[in-house]
Structure 1
């Protein structure tokens, strides 16, 4: 008997709650949850990177910058760009010549930046930046015009390519508005069309240091 009374009371309570929900529910007032909504915390940031890795078997330094927005202190959206700043010299061939000679590599890449951060409020935390975009390279002969020492460079060949570069970075909260990071990336290159350089010569790991500024 006591069990029956409890069941009846439970049904009455559920019925009352359900009726109240039906009476107050208005689908017009229900906002669809999304990453980019006014309820989310949105802050701008900017950063500078130094990357060291191998290009065509030679050690190279790339300098770049990226910026965008941090959503809810965790998700990164923005753009990034990097360029070769050191002299990357290798032995290659010039069309029409039979002997190998010293050639140089110029160029860079950039595109969309996405990523995420684990435990962003902690002193030390992990960040996962990913760059997806395109790049451009030139193979240059610095001594092509031997009779014109003032301007002897000549572009032997050039190309554009697709690049995807995921990374893993350990970040340190130096101040509320400055973070210092260090980590590794893997740069994957596809679609380059050069006689002297292949996709495999541009693909590989890099070590990086990052200086990020913003309201974190």
Structure 2
């Protein structure tokens, strides 16, 4: 569960920009041969579980292609704290990283 805050500058312009902040909490699990996944596990067999807090800060550039289609490129940083999976020697620092995203948005804007 979390919160998303987003700002879109000049959304009617052909080219526009935006910024977003996402914060929230969840569990991270180590599940057999499947590796890591967000809770709850499909099989119900979790070998190790840790509650985490995550926050993302990012910026986006977007192009209005048509009145119902936008294409965007965004990037930012994801910070994860609280992860402590001893068996896999994974901490929050291992799950924190920069990210990039290409988005195709369809709808009524």
Q: TM-score when scaled to structure 1? A: 0.42
Mapped pair 1:127 → 2:18: yes
Separation in 2, partners of 1:142, 1:163:
25
Give the root-mean-square deviation of aligned CA atoms. Answer: 2.0
Superposed CA deviations along residues 136-157 of structure 1, whole A, max 9, x for unmatched, are 21112329xxxxxxxxxx5321
Unaligned runs of 5+ in 2: 35-44
Shift of 1:202: 0.6
Separation in 2, partners of 1:202, 1:124:
33
Shift of 1:172: 0.9
4+ residue runs over 2 A deviation: 211-215
Mapped pair 1:200 → 2:93: yes
Whether the 8 Å contact between 1:111 and 1:133 is mirrored in structure 2 is yes
Aligned residue among 12, 16, 28 for 1:137: 28
Q: TM-score when scaled to structure 2? A: 0.78
Separation in 2, partners of 1:179, 1:210:
8
Separation in 1, partners of 2:104, 2:26:
23
Bigger helix fraction: 1
Aligned residues between the structures: 98
Separation in 2, partners of 1:190, 1:180:
32
Bigger strand fraction: 2
Whether the 8 Å contact between 1:125 and 1:170 is mirrored in structure 2 is yes
Unaligned runs of 5+ in 1: 1-109, 144-153
Mapped pair 1:118 → 2:9: yes
Separation in 2, partners of 1:136, 1:122:
40
- What is residue 175 of structure 1 aligned with on the other side? 66
Separation in 2, partners of 1:194, 1:127:
35
